[in-house]
């Protein structure tokens, strides 16, 4: 009976080691794959456009999508 238990424990330990090593290989694969697509951060931070510029860009995009043209300028407060 003791021999069966020890063989079962050895089989469980070997199975666990195989599963852990397979997981490590998969993790290493994804880690290397992600490092190939790495882009370094920008040296300088760029400022986002001002709110007025953003609103003008949105207005132009909406006008282009809907096919509308402005007859007069909008006064934004």
d(CA 33, CA 18): 23
Q: Is residue 71 exposed (0-12), middle (13-18) or buried (19+ Cβ within 10 Å)? A: exposed
Confirm whether pTM is higher than 0.95. Answer: no
In this predicted structure, what is the pLDDT of residue 1? 66
pLDDT digits 0-9 by tens, 18-71: 999 999 999 999 988 887 777 777 788 788 888 888 988 998 899 899 988 878
Determine the distance from the C-alpha atom of residue 74 to the mean position of all C-alpha atoms in its chain, rounded to a whole number.
39
Residues with Cβ within 8 Å of 55's Cβ and at least 6 positions away in sequence, in order, are: 76
């Amino acid at each position: 009976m003791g021999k069966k238990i020890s063989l079962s424990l050895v089989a469980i330990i070997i199975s666990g080691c195989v599963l852990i090593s397979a997981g490590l290989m998969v993790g290493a694969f994804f880690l290397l794959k992600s490092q190939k697509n790495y882009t370094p951060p920008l040296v300088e931070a760029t400022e986002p456009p001002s709110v007025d510029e953003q609103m003008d860009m949105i207005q132009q995009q909406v006008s282009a999508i809907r096919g509308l043209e402005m007859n007069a300028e909008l006064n934004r407060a």
